Amino acid sequence: MNLMERMEKKSSSENKEKTEEVVTKIPERENNSELGNLFNEQQTTKNTRNDYAKVIEETHREVASMLAKLDNVTEKDVESLINEYLTENYPEIGRNDRTYISKSIQNEITGLGPLEELINDSTVSEIMVNGPNQIYVERKGKLVLSDVKFQDEEHVRRIIDRIVTPLGRRIDDSNPMVDARLKDGSRVNAIIPPLALCGSTITIRKFSDTPLTIENLMKFGSLSPEMAGFLEAGVRGKLNILVSGGTGSGKTTLLNVLSAFIPHDERIVTIEDAAELKLMQDHVVSLESRPANLEGTGAITIRDLVKNALRMRPDRIVVGEVRGGETLDMLQAMNTGHDGSLTTAHANSARDALARIETMVMMAGMDLPVTAIRQQCAGALDLVVQQARLRDGSRKITSICEITGMEGDIITTQEIFKYVVDGMDKNNKFVGHFESTGVVPKCCEKVKTNGVDMDNRWFFKE
């Protein structure tokens, strides 16, 4: 339907009522030039949201009604309809405010509503929605309360549905938790009432459009050049590597960086709950787990995918994170010719990571003796790379440990590199340095056997 025709069908009384409502609010500022300048040039986004909430709601409703009768609508069409409607009904609104209103409505129709501006903000690394009225963001490792808000609980639920529906996932009373991803690969977790008492909760872990490189991590101070050289040689030389760390420590980012060293002539199979790895190689097969359907059937777990991956002739298997029984299958894959595999796990130290691996293997329900599980770990894993987020928000590789074998029923390890904290600077930032322990790892022979050189100078203190 033509917009002008639709406008003509509106009653003159409705038009008059709208005009009076805005005229009493906008020109009042314009009559005073000083206040008008402040309104046009320095008004905060928060005030704009409050002033135009009704205008945005009405325009959104009317434009959505028009769009429902049209086919093959583009984002440009949406923008044109919004601007025409505002011009016809609210000519008093200034250009800057009209731009804000138009963008807000476009985000509601074609994007993720109020979250869109946070997603497009390159300084934001994580978004945490705690109900409709409280949204925190992480900037430079620190949490900050944002002034962005949802209209109500229903508004939050609409945005969650918009995220999960294209992925074939659902969230409702019978399935109140869901993991998903955005188009750019950002990881999303959502949980709704009655489990979330403060209202529907969304957590978005953003990822850069351009994957980070090892040079970026060195520039950020996350590791030293010697550690970078050793890890690159380890990946190229087909060491099995476990990246360990706490929540938000940068495990997946480091896994992405390490995977970039896998040669381009190898077949790589990636397995994740919600696909977020971005490998640059040509021959990559990405697999993603699937939750159960409405009938409670059809679930495909990480363990199912690991088992299936073994039949896909992979040169490397990269598992985004091991959390349960799939750990046993992963270790068996590493022990049966799939060297050079990578994965991550939640743990606070390398020794804790090995203990967690044992616990997760037991979750496979195979009733294996502890000694047999530890032998599997010692035979499968070569390195544990410990990643941490320090109190100042910085992320560091705090330790690189080698698994050297077994002594009795104990897994033996030796630390190759570590991060030493020297103190705090005047900005309350940690000051420290990376150092080698002076130990030449036994895995150097395996790396050299696979045709990759190791520089022994990496392992000696200067």
CATH, residue 175: 3.30.450.370
Q: Which residues contact 306 (CB under 8 A, 6 or more apart)?
A: 271, 317, 319, 326, 329, 330, 333
Report pLDDT for 22.
39
pLDDT digits (tens, 9 = 90+) for 245-273: 998 888 989 999 999 999 999 999 999 88
My answer on whether 247 and 374 are in the same domain is yes
- CB-based burial label for 430 (10 Å; 0-12, 13-18, 19+): middle
- Between CA 409 and CA 8 the distance in angstroms is 84
In the predicted structure, residue 2 carries a pLDDT above the cut 60: no
Average pLDDT, the chain: 85
Three-state SS at 199: coil
My answer on whether 239 and 105 are in the same domain is no
Within-domain flag for 182: yes
Report pLDDT for 48.
52
> Parallel, antiparallel, or unpaired: how do β-strands 395-407 and 410-424 relate?
antiparallel
CATH number for the domain harbouring residue 256: 3.40.50.300
Within-domain flag for 270: yes
Half-sphere exposure (Cβ direction) of 106: Cα atoms closer than 13 Å: 18
Mean pLDDT, residues 441-461 taken together: 91
Residue that the structure tokens 């595999």 belong to: 341
Residue that the structure tokens 């086919």 belong to: 71
CA angle 223, 228, 231 (to 5 degrees): 120
My answer on whether 382 and 453 are in the same domain is yes
Within-domain flag for 137: yes
- Between CA 20 and CA 30 the distance in angstroms is 15
In the predicted structure, residue 49 carries a pLDDT above the cut 70: no
Q: Which long-range CB contacts under 8 A does 168-174 form with residues at least 24 apart?
A: 168/290, 169/291, 170/294, 174/294
pLDDT digits (tens, 9 = 90+) for 81-137: 888 888 888 888 888 888 888 888 888 888 899 999 899 998 999 999 999 999 999
The pTM assigned to this predicted structure is 0.76
Report pLDDT for 203.
96
My answer on whether 286 and 380 are in the same domain is yes
CA dihedral over 452, 453, 456, 457, signed as positive or negative: negative
Beta-bridge partner residues of 151: none
Mean pLDDT, residues 292-302 taken together: 82
Within-domain flag for 251: yes
My answer on whether 101 and 120 are in the same domain is no
> Parallel, antiparallel, or unpaired: how do β-strands 268-272 and 241-245 relate?
unpaired
Q: Which of 294-298, 393-397, 412-416 has the lowest mean pLDDT?
A: 294-298
pLDDT-derived band at 74 (thresholds 50, 70, 90) equals confident
Last residue of a domain, one of 179, 207, 235: 207
Tokens describing residue 418: 């570590």
My answer on whether 89 and 166 are in the same domain is no
Q: Which of 13-27, 180-194, 286-300, 407-421 has the lowest mean pLDDT?
A: 13-27
Residue that the structure tokens 């940690």 belong to: 430
Report pLDDT for 8.
45
My answer on whether 198 and 236 are in the same domain is no
Within-domain flag for 245: yes
Which is more confident, 328 or 292?
Answer: 328
- Between CA 421 and CA 427 the distance in angstroms is 15
State how many domains the chain has: 3
Mean pLDDT, residues 268-297 taken together: 86
My answer on whether 390 and 320 are in the same domain is yes
Within-domain flag for 444: yes
Last residue of a domain, one of 158, 192, 207: 207
In the predicted structure, residue 402 carries a pLDDT above the cut 90: yes
In the predicted structure, residue 25 carries a pLDDT above the cut 70: no
My answer on whether 335 and 265 are in the same domain is yes
Report pLDDT for 85.
87
What percentage of residues in the chain have a pLDDT greater than 70? 89
Within-domain flag for 432: yes
Beta-bridge partner residues of 343: 242, 319
> Parallel, antiparallel, or unpaired: how do β-strands 395-407 and 383-389 relate?
antiparallel
My answer on whether 176 and 321 are in the same domain is no
Within-domain flag for 41: no
Report pLDDT for 50.
57
Shortest CA distance to 454 belongs to which of 232, 131, 197, 246? 232
My answer on whether 106 and 116 are in the same domain is no
Which is more confident, 27 or 231?
Answer: 231
* Domain of residue 143, residue span: 112-207
Last residue of a domain, one of 63, 92, 110: 110
Mean pLDDT, residues 350-358 taken together: 94
pLDDT digits (tens, 9 = 90+) for 7-24: 445 434 444 444 444 343
pLDDT-derived band at 240 (thresholds 50, 70, 90) equals very high
My answer on whether 238 and 297 are in the same domain is yes
In the predicted structure, residue 52 carries a pLDDT above the cut 50: yes
